[in-house]
Amino acid sequence: MSQPQDLLDSVAGQLHNLPLMVTPETCLGRSYIITGANSGLGFEAAKHLVSLGAGKVIMAVRNLGAGQKAKASIEASTGKTGSAEVWHLDLSSYESVKYFAKRATLELDRIDALVENAGVAIDIDSQAEGHPVTFTVNVYSTFMLAVLLLPKMKEDAQRLNIVPHIAIVSSSVAFSAQPLWDLGKGAANPVDKIVQVGQLDTTGGYTVSKLLEVLAVRHLAPLLPVSSTGVVLNLVCPGLCKTDIGRNASDDIKAVAGTMMDRIGRTSEDGSRTLLFAATAGKSSHGKFTADCEIKDDSIIPDWIKGKEAEEERKRLWDVIAKEIEAAAPGSLAKIFN
């Protein structure tokens, strides 16, 4: 299992007062989707976009009531109405993901960025769609949504001469999951193998899910070059932020995290700036890991994730994710590689 201090070492000394990389000029008339936008980082990112004059900000939330309250708060604080919309999205349900993607494809004139911020860290025994909820939400549904919206975003890129972004919110704590990842190496389904070994707790499940995001993006991005799709796919680590993502963590993690948050934790508003950076970072960020509003792939990604052996393991993982997506949404993968 992951140890509390191991999960937090990577954020010691993190920066504060990060730059805001979006402006009224870069937001005007553009459309954004932010998952998990009713609180925390997603809420603050949505507020920035509304404040800066975005044409449309889709606040994708599981709880519509909480989403409407969040929207009202944003409109009251910014004085701007008409751009924020609350749409239902439950990432624990593949049907909900497919419905949301279909609606976005049909109703939105353009998608300039999809910020996949929503994530969970809950009891590894909790199940959805035949898997631990943490993996269903953070991995399978997250990539399914990206796959289902990519054809629309590719079309928008060509039609409007824009560079849409898909930014997946991960975390540098992912790299503390190496011992757990090693349990599944070589297996046809490494995710199932890790679960079956029985060493995952809530925190371990979360860190593994964040690692799976990194591995999957590093495999997928070269197969979908910006020169072909016109769409940037990247990862973002928001750092240790004062949100409620760890509300279901173990008591020892909460104790350590609480102390660290008091000492070095970013506000949700400060952390949201990393999401906006990833959503606008440009072609050079494709397939890369961003943090502190910078591309930090070379300085953060550890060596054991690189190299030939890692390439084979990344492919094996993607095959598992792809199989899940294809079973739930037949034909969707073929569309992104056309």
Query: Looking at the annotation, which residues are catalytic?
Result: 170, 206, 210
Q: How far apart are CA 237 and CA 264, in angstroms?
A: 15
Closest by Cα among 213, 218, 121, 188 to 323: 188
Closest by Cα among 111, 39, 31, 100 to 68: 39
Strands 131-132 and 127-128: antiparallel
Structure tokens at 112: 């300039």
Closest by Cα among 145, 139, 140 to 58: 145
Structure tokens at 254: 């909460």
Closest by Cα among 218, 269, 280, 231 to 25: 280
Structure tokens at 114: 């999809």
CA-based angle 208:4:250, to the nearest 5? Answer: 80
Q: How far apart are CA 166 and CA 77, in angstroms?
A: 27
CA-based angle 114:303:13, to the nearest 5? Answer: 70
What is the side-by-side order of every strand in the sheet holding 165-169? Answer: 84-88, 56-61, 31-35, 113-116, 165-169, 232-237, 289-291, 294-295
Residue 175 region, left (φ>0) first, then alpha (ψ -120 to 50), else beta? alpha
CB 87 within 8 A of CB 60: yes
Instruction: Provide φ and ψ at 128, rounded to 5°.
Output: -155, 135
